[in-house]
Amino acid sequence: MSLSASASDLSAQRLKEFADGNETFQQTYFKKHEAQLLNLVKEGQNPRALFIGCSDSRVIPDLIIQSNPGDLFVIRNVGNFVAPYKPDEDFHSTAAGIEYAVGVLEVSEIIICGHSHCGAIEALYKTTCDTSMIHTAKWLTLGEKAKKMALLALGEEAKKEDLLRATEHLSIVTQIENLLTYPYVKKLVDEDKLFIHGWYYDIETGGIEYYDPDIYQFRPLSELGD
């Protein structure tokens, strides 16, 4: 693809900022943690958890929980959705990641993390859709169950912000339900060898809530284990 001179200059400037950032990374973080990072090369990865999060640029898994390289195996997609298990030979990116994390890396924890002000959830409430975005439109149907549950709980006359926040939370629960349709996941969960967690990240405060299935509520992550 060819770019105009002005567009090319602007693109080069943006890439230069990324290049400068990589230089800083190499000279600071990488140099400080070189032994640890090279050990991950030598011994391979052994992540503690599979983190399924949203592609939203404001939600950075390692940053929000201050984890280290090698701690998380991360899958990010629009809306942090999990499509139900479908045993065919089509292309299933998220399913492939789950399969690899559970079957090969043998993670013991899976975290499905939604967040506030999620564009995917907001899109569920828009009456018009760009018909050219066929893959996005299909993918967003994975949030419809959460939307229906929110409308049933709060009513169609509820404030939009209340409906959005409720749908964001409920979507996490419905994605957990979808995850449990994967036979190998369900088997390990039933054997207490794999544990699934639902998290909600508030981008306005930096706080995280976790879903407590015993009381059907989200609680501050800081209270986990209390």
Question: Residue 50: which of 188, 168, 144 has the closest Cα?
Answer: 188
Q: Which residues are catalytic?
A: 54, 56, 58, 115, 118
Structure-token pair, residue 181: 């349709």
Label residue 226 exposed, middle or buried (CB < 10 Å: 0-12, 13-18, 19+): exposed
